[in-house]
Amino acid sequence: MTASFPAVRARRLRAAPAWRRLTRETRLDAGQLVLPMFVREGAEAAIPIGSMPGVVQHSLETLKAELHRAAAAGIGGVMLFGVPEHKDAAGSGATAADGILNVATEIAAAEVGGDLVVQTDLCLDEFTDHGHCGVLDEAGRVDNDATLERYRDMALAQAASGSQLLGLSGMMDGQTAVVRAALDDAGYGDVALLAYAAKYASAFYGPFREAVQSSLQGDRRTYQLDPANRREGAREVALDVAEGADIVMVKPAMSYLDVLADAAATSPVPVWAYQVSGEYAMIEAAAAHGWIDRERAIDESLVGIVRAGADAVLTYWAIEVAERIARA
């Protein structure tokens, strides 16, 4: 073998930790992590979620404590979900000023609104007795335009409670435009919109259904995207941008990195990704069996999502990872 072979030696830059640190292309920052949080009406203590070890349904008291932990960890924000005691066909709890999500939002805005971006899930599924993201027509189908009226009222209730960023996760046509117009008319021009633009009908939402005690029978395939469709994801992103979304989201994250990369390449607004409950549960479960290195798997999953193009990531590990970054 001649001394000069091979001429190209890519391993030089991997030879030692200092080299690897210096040549690293993607870095996680605590400020780009958002923590989803569940708040349960009537709860007197935190209630564990079996399929999401380490994640709980908060009481209003434990919510406060966790909000301050989140702020101290330096993450970017929190996304609040409500778990109401009573559900009905219209999802009345979503728009009531004393509904659990609106009450929790007021608390979050007051406690940490200056340090974190306080965000709220704008969708009816936690509040409807049938579990769908919208209201139903007489034939039992999800009625797009009747749902938009509910979303408009929900947006106003959330803005009044102090939400700074509304997470439009219902996948109704026209939802971003309708909510933007309603907020502007009511003087909430500063409230921003996060459009779950490309949200797929995914099996990876399974543990979330336990987390919010969903009453859904059937599935959401008439409104969420078919997992097979990449072009359609790009179309939904473009529609939400045109309707006035301030940020667009791809969800889930790990099985949709191509959709995420497409959005990152074309979107004029920030692109976020949601590492959903099933993605969390899979890593926790495998780690609990000793089958993977838990911390490395978590960090690798997140760096992969950011490498694919996410500007920020919703993840149930937000505080843990932020604290790890701070120690590194």
Contacts 24+ apart (CB under 8 A), 303-308: 303/26, 303/28, 304/254, 304/257, 305/253, 305/254, 305/257, 305/260, 305/273, 305/275, 306/26, 306/28, 306/32, 307/25, 307/26, 308/257, 308/260, 308/261, 308/264, 308/273
Task: For residue 256, state whether it binds ligand PBG (rule: CB under 6 A).
Answer: no
For the CB of residue 195, give the shortest distance to ligand PBG in the complex, in Å: 13
Reading the block at residue 174, the tokens are 């026209």
Assess whether 87 carries a catalytic annotation: no
Residue number of the CB closest to ligand PBG reads 208
Task: For residue 123, state whether it binds ligand PBG (rule: CB under 6 A).
Answer: yes
Q: With contact defined as beta carbons under 8 Å apart, do 264 and 309 qualify?
A: yes
For the CB of residue 275, give the shortest distance to ligand PBG in the complex, in Å: 8
Stretch that binds ligand PBG, among 64-72, 121-129, 135-143, 292-300 (CB under 6 A): 121-129
Task: For residue 119, state whether it binds ligand PBG (rule: CB under 6 A).
Answer: no
Among 38, 127, 151, 205, contact with ligand PBG (rule: CB under 6 A): 205
**Residue 72 or 209 having the CB closest to ligand PBG:** 209
Task: For residue 277, state whether it binds ligand PBG (rule: CB under 6 A).
Answer: yes
**Residue 9 or 263 having the CB closest to ligand PBG:** 263
Q: Phi and psi dihedrals of 127, rounded to 5?
A: -110, -10
Task: For residue 272, state whether it binds ligand PBG (rule: CB under 6 A).
Answer: no
Assess whether 199 carries a catalytic annotation: yes
Q: With contact defined as beta carbons under 8 Å apart, do 82 and 100 qualify?
A: yes
Pick the catalytic residue from 40, 132, 199, 220. Answer: 199
Q: With contact defined as beta carbons under 8 Å apart, do 286 and 238 qualify?
A: no
Among 41, 66, 106, 125, contact with ligand PBG (rule: CB under 6 A): 125
For the CB of residue 273, give the shortest distance to ligand PBG in the complex, in Å: 12
Pick the catalytic residue from 251, 259, 263, 298. Answer: 251
For the CB of residue 139, give the shortest distance to ligand PBG in the complex, in Å: 22
**Residue 106 or 125 having the CB closest to ligand PBG:** 125
**Residue 52 or 264 having the CB closest to ligand PBG:** 52
How far apart are alpha carbons 157 and 162 in whole angstroms? 9
For the CB of residue 123, give the shortest distance to ligand PBG in the complex, in Å: 3
Stretch that binds ligand PBG, among 120-128, 231-239, 288-296, 304-312 (CB under 6 A): 120-128
Among 32, 169, 267, 301, contact with ligand PBG (rule: CB under 6 A): 169
Among 41, 66, 106, 121, contact with ligand PBG (rule: CB under 6 A): 121
For residue 260, the Cα-to-chain-centroid distance in whole angstroms is 14
Binding residues for ligand PBG, rule CB under 6 A, total: 10
**Residues at the contact surface with ligand PBG, assessed by CB under 6 A:** 121, 123, 125, 133, 169, 205, 208, 220, 276-277
Q: Catalytic amino acids?
A: 199, 251
